[in-house]
Amino acid sequence: MASIQKIVLAGATGSLGKPMLEALLDAKYEVTVFTRLTSDHTFPPDIKVVKVDYTDVEGLTAALQGTDALIITVTTGAVGQQKYIVDAAVAAGIKRIIPSEFGCDISNPKARALPVYARKVEIEEYIEAKCKGTPTTYTYIFNNAFLDWGIDAKSLVDVPGKKIDLYDGGETRYTATPLSFVAKGTVACLQKFEETANRAVKLHGAVLTQKKLLQLAQKVVGTDGWEVKVVRTEDVERESWANLKSNPGDTFGWVVGFLKRAIFAEGYGGDFTDSNDNQLLGLKQLSDEDVVEAIRARA
């Protein structure tokens, strides 16, 4: 069995990177953090921090020497740039690469075909080709929507503003997973090294529908004054295609719409209830009360 001790975490200062760093330290891994040359973060003194140029394969290879696993939590806009660090990880003989995925199940053909995932699909294909015939393996982590992040960003529900969109009537089930759950699940993949090699792992936090989320949010802020809109994800997708065609550079016009289609629509693989890796990784699905607590903590 592979012994995984030394981890590099690239993007440790982000929304997911912070809880990921915490989970790795809790599990007593020896962690090195990669951060951009231009970044100016402060880290706890016992963490090794390396400033890197994410396009310099030679420099990245040198910085990755002796590392067992590489976890990448860089921002969505930098996903395409992972090719360089993948080249470096394979050259350095790293045992496991976990790229910056952490979203919908893009093995679902309908989700995979949405332009918003083009970069992530490209990176998966790149990793698979690069790892072939080498000792380097990979794991993709899927968690569908981030629960707490989605409440903060008001993309699941706007609790303070008391607004919610009921996609396709609001009864379609989908998975929503807290950041700390994603982090724990990712770390658990290192401990179940063989079982998680060269495949996608699905982490299932809570099972929600928009109607259920509304009820749970109402337990925290009451039932009065809600603005509830019914939205068809088919229309949202059509609009996103039109915006993409007319003005591809304006990502606000299409990215979010495609994400909504993938997360909330029937048939796009957003409900992990019956097919997930929680049991393998020792994770327990959240109860309704846990979701209420998550809402209360950020209301």
Ligand X SMILES: NC(=O)c1ccc[n+]([C@@H]2O[C@H](COP(=O)([O-])OP(=O)(O)OC[C@H]3O[C@@H](n4cnc5c(N)ncnc54)[C@H](OP(=O)(O)O)[C@@H]3O)[C@@H](O)[C@H]2O)c1
Which residue lies nearer to ligand X by CB, 44 or 77?
77
Closest-by-Cβ residue to ligand X is: 14
- Tracing tokens 């809600």 back to the chain, one arrives at 226
Residue 294 within binding range of ligand X, rule CB under 6 A: no
Q: CA 102 to CA 123: how far, in whole Å?
A: 13
Check: CB of residue 201 under 8 Å from CB of residue 185.
Answer: yes
Instruction: Determine the interface stretch with ligand X among 94-102, 157-165, 195-203, 270-278 (rule: CB under 6 A).
Output: 94-102
Neighbours of 36 (CB within 10 A): 16
Residue 78 within binding range of ligand X, rule CB under 6 A: yes
The interface mask with ligand X, positions 12-31, x = CB under 6 A, is -xxxxx--------------
Which residue lies nearer to ligand X by CB, 76 or 198?
76
Half-sphere exposure of 139 (CA within 13 A, CB side): 27
Q: Give min distance, CB of 280 to ligand X, in A.
A: 20
Count residues binding ligand X (CB under 6 A). 28
Which residue lies nearer to ligand X by CB, 150 or 170?
150
Q: Give min distance, CB of 142 to ligand X, in A.
A: 9
Residue 150 within binding range of ligand X, rule CB under 6 A: yes
Q: CA 161 to CA 55: how far, in whole Å?
A: 42
Please state at what angle helix 233-246 crosses helix 255-264, rounded to 10 degrees.
Answer: 150
Which residue lies nearer to ligand X by CB, 170 or 178?
178
Residue 75 within binding range of ligand X, rule CB under 6 A: yes
Residue 264 within binding range of ligand X, rule CB under 6 A: no
Please state at what angle helix 17-26 crosses helix 179-191, rounded to 10 degrees.
Answer: 40
Concatenating the DSSP letter of every residue in 39-93 gives ------TTSEEEEE-TT-HHHHHHHHTT-SEEEE---GGGGGGHHHHHHHHHHTT
* 116 token code pair: 């918003």
- Tracing tokens 């796009």 back to the chain, one arrives at 268
Q: Give min distance, CB of 76 to ligand X, in A.
A: 4
Residue 39 within binding range of ligand X, rule CB under 6 A: yes
Which residue lies nearer to ligand X by CB, 132 or 256?
256
Q: Provide CB contacts within 8 A for 50, sequence distance 6+.
A: 32, 33, 34, 35, 63
Identify the residue among 61, 67, 73, 278 touching ligand X (CB under 6 A): 73
Instruction: Determine the interface stretch with ligand X among 33-41, 83-91, 188-196, 212-220 (rule: CB under 6 A).
Output: 33-41
Angle at CA 179, nearest 5°, toward 176 and 185? 90
Identify the residue among 84, 140, 149, 167 touching ligand X (CB under 6 A): 149
Footprint on this chain of ligand X (rule: CB under 6 A): 11, 13-17, 35-36, 39, 41, 54, 73-79, 81, 100-103, 143, 145-146, 149-150
